[in-house]
Structure 1
Amino acid sequence: MSYKLGILDQSPVTEGVSNFDTLQKTVDLVKKAEKWGYERFWVSEHHNTDLVAGSSPEVLVSYLLAKTSSIRIGSGGVMLQHYSPYKVAENFHVLSTLEPGRVDLGIGKAPGGLPLSTKALQYGRVDTGEDFKERLTFLQQLINNSVPETHEFAGIKATPTPPTKPETYLLGASVDSAKLAADLGISFAFAQFFNSDKEVLKEAAKTYRANYPGGTFILSVAVIAAQTEEEAKRLAGKQKIVKVFLASGRKLTLQTVEQAEKFGKESGEAYEVKEFDAEIISGTPEQVKSSLDELHELHGVDEFILHTPVPSPEERLRSFKLLSPKYIDQIAIYS
């Protein structure tokens, strides 16, 4: 196989299922993902929502590491605007000391929630004016134990120093994010399920490769596989991407129109909510793999992170199984 496969699990909440059972489904999925041959398993960060249970990826990552033995586990991702880069580095150094070579530190720029939860997360924090690039740069210096002598925190270390440092990934959906990841010499994951603009993806991949030829380029895609094309298309349905556009120029992707409207109101700005057709790759395992092959060839994708946006836990599990490396090996699709 010329590329690897991983999973993004947001721990979606199903009506009538407790939060305890929801997180247990994530535990069950990561165990199966390891058995099925997936390379890595990422969990997300969302706040103040009843739609998903994943609000603290670093805590969930530690639990999942303890429940598995070989698959890489990581954050998809930690929303750095809310936290001290130093504390994030310490958290992931502890995890990497406990499980060397298995920890991914995915960093996101989005808030992971509405303005009210952002305000709560940043309660009492003194805004020193640093931007995201400065925060991410400092975080990477801490991970590499390379804080410059000219830095105000020269000499500081994020302890304990792990035998193998966590792998850092910038998660984004823009050309600017691709350029930032390349400039910092870190891996980049483009979230196509957030931004289905093919031209943006093309330019982001081109920009990353041009500025960091040796970097790892991951594409996170929405996929739904079933035994028949008809069943997969039915599951994919007519899902939408919901975006809120603020007067200040910011735009964010939300899960529902209701969330987007609430975000706009809490922002205190004029806003507009728009729906777009979601980019979902659906079909039989053979058809989905053919689409992944095409994207791999077109953009030089090193790995795909699969996100399956269907409400039924059983159908999500089946889709991941049908697309897993070991399953597809058995039906002789991979060469």
Structure 2
Amino acid sequence: MSYLISVLDKSPVREGGTAEQALRDSLRLALHAEHLGYHRYWFAEHHAAPQLASPAPEVLAAWVLAQTRRIRVGTGGVMLRHYAPYKVAETFNLLASLAPGRVDLGVGKAPGGLPASTAALAAGRPPAGPFEQQLQDLEGFLSGTLAADHPHANAQARPLPQTGPARFLLGASAQSARLAGELGWGFVYAAHFDGDPRSIETAFSAYREVSSQAPLLATVAFAARSADAAAAQLGALRIYKLHLGPGQTVNLPSAEAAAEYARQVGVADYRIEETHPSVLSGDGHQVRRALDELHQRFGVGEFILDAPVADVDARLTSLELLSPAPRAAVA
């Protein structure tokens, strides 16, 4: 096999289920993913979402790291705009000290929730600076390379692990790709938000101009025993893109959430665009063939698979059907 396969988990709550059960499901899935030979297991960050139980992915990562032995575990990702880079660096240096060589820090720019949650997360602290500066500060704290004239140059993010966390920037633009490359970070293109092949190619080209690392691709991928069964499990997936003004867009899971977002920010003149996310679904052979084609077309070094299905048995089946283990053994 010429690429790696990993998992993105949002800890979805089953219909009529509880968050506690969703978190137990996540652990069960992570243990099974390790057994099947998946490379990473990442948790997403979503705030005040009744259907998701993952507001603090670093906590979930710590819990799963303690109960696994080989698989890399981390975040996909920490929404950096909400936090002090120094605190994020401390947290992940600590995780990397507890589980050497297995910790990933994936960072994203999106809010991960509605404005009410964003305001609550920002309460009592000064406004965050530009995202690019936050990211540079985070790298400086992690690696101990802050400039001598930096206002926090004397603050060390201890403990200092022998092997620090692997760093990744999640995004869907050439700007994000270039920023990741300039920092020496991995870049994960979010195809589950924008699967336009031209956008993927543009971002990957920008990344390769400044980095020799192979880019990663996050995409919705779900396999079942038949293509019809996979389609029935997935249902009609949609993303609602809220347009608030020139250059201001936010992706939301429903039209109701998009309207509520606009209401919370006090914008009356907005537009909601319904889009269909890029989805790979079918039986195991069909989905693996689609991954092979994406690898060959874009030079993807690793896929981060997002299966937006709450049924844990269906997700376990998908993991088994897409397992890299048999192909890795052959290689």
Structure 1 distance, partners of 2:314, 2:305, is: 14
Aligned residue pairs, count: 330
Map residues 8-47 of structure 1 onto 2, 5 A cutoff: 8-47=8-47
Instruction: Choose the corresponding residue for 1:231, options 214, 229, 232.
Output: 229
SS of 2:66's partner is: helix
Give the gaps of 5 or more residues in structure 2. none
Q: Which residue of 2 aligns with 1:325?
A: 324
Q: Is the 8 A contact 1:11 1:26 kept in 2?
A: yes
Paired letter, 1:70: R
> Could you tell me how far 1:136 is from its partner in structure 2?
0.2
Deviations 1:235-255 (A, max 9, x none): 344321211111253211111
**2:194 maps to which residue?**
195
User: Match for 1:240: what amino acid?
Assistant: R
Contact 1:5 1:325 survives alignment (8 Å): yes
Q: Is the 8 A contact 2:13 2:21 kept in 1?
A: no
Alignment of 1:1-335 (within 5 A): 1-127=1-127, 130-212=129-211, 214-247=212-245, 249-269=247-267, 270-327=269-326
Q: Is the 8 A contact 1:206 1:299 kept in 2?
A: no
Residue 232 of structure 1: CA displacement? Answer: 2.3
Deviations 1:131-158 (A, max 9, x none): 0000000100111111111212223211
* Cα distance change of structure 1 residues 249 and 268 upon mapping to structure 2, 3 Å threshold: farther
Residues 147, 156 of structure 1: 8 Å contact kept: no
**How many angstroms apart in 2 are the aligned matches of 1:61 and 1:234?**
30
CA distance in 2, matches of 1:105, 1:199: 27
| Structure 1 contact 285–328 (Cα < 8 Å) conserved | no
Q: Could you tell which deviates more after superposition, 167-176 or 38-47? A: 167-176
Runs (5+) with no aligned partner, structure 1: none
**Percentage of identical aligned residues:** 41
Q: Check whether the contact 1:321–1:327 (CA below 8 A) recurs between aligned residues.
A: no
Whether the 8 Å contact between 1:236 and 1:280 is mirrored in structure 2 is: no
- Cα offset, 1:179, TM superposition: 1.3
Q: In 1, Cα distance between the equivalents of 2:270 and 2:168?
A: 31
- Report if the CA contact (8 A) 2:12-2:309 is conserved: no
The two structures, once aligned, show a CA RMSD in angstroms of: 1.5
TM-score by length of 1: 0.95
Residues 305 and 115 of structure 1: CA distance in aligned 2, closer, same or farther (over 3 Å)? same
Q: Which amino acid aligns with 2:138?
A: L
* Equivalent position amino acid for 1:320 in 2: L
Work out the CA distance in 1 between the residues paired with 2:49 and 2:233. 24
